[in-house]
Structure 1
Amino acid sequence: MSVLPNHLKYAESHEWVYINESGEAVVGITDFAQESLGDLMAAHLPEVGTDISQGEEIMSLESVKAASDIFAPLSGEIVEVNTELEDEPELVNDEPYDGGWLFKIAPHDASELDNLLSDQDYQAMIDQ
């Protein structure tokens, strides 16, 4: 069973998101997703300043098994990327909910969070 913090919202495409104290949406992938991918070899991060729409492909992660597209859980502008992943993509494997975050978005409409899953709903989805 994967670890699922209950303060996060989850996308069906296995990204998590929360709004931090600065009003930015912090995005990563779930423990379930990183386990499925296996050992990460590279993170192809988005460009700061990129405007994205909810559900849009924004970046990819490469593992020993495959490359996986990462989708934006919210619409907005990329305001920061986790540059540590350029040298240490395995942070996503080691700390998927902490040091392995991927990017931050200045959301256009925080109500888009309502389109995402709770921890219980996400767990039910991956259990199927």
Structure 2
Amino acid sequence: MTALRTHTRSMKGWWRRHPAYRQYLLREATSVVIGLYALCLLWGMTALLLGPGAHDVWRACVQSLPGRAFHLLALAAFSWHAWTWFRLLPLTVAPLRLGRYRITQTLVHRAALGAWALASAALLVAAAGGLR
């Protein structure tokens, strides 16, 4: 008796077939940059535990030109990642109703973007020295 042979379609280049696949991979690639940024912050917290000398080395590294470039890359990655997730948010939320009114996907998307903008502005004010 011979074994049944089934056709297995090649997955080579699957991500090139549709723009949505490329955007998905780009969003997932931003997770790598976000992970590297988390490691940078972990290094900074470890440097705080090790003392002023280690913390000064970490700060010098972060404030150097490559460190600033990495922070700009991380900002772009965070922004793209957040933007794409906020675009997907209305698709993941069950249809919402407030009384007899239906809350549209556009309103959910705009509310999420507004909350993001408000939180970003609050962090910017806090980083700039706070409200004195």
Same-fold status (TM-score > 0.5): no
In terms of fraction of residues, the more strand-rich structure is 1
TM range (shorter): under 0.3
TM-score, normalized by length of structure 1?
A: 0.24
Q: Which has the larger Rg? A: 2
| Structure whose residues are more often helix by fraction | 2
The structure whose RCO (Cα within 8 Å, separation 6+) is larger is 1
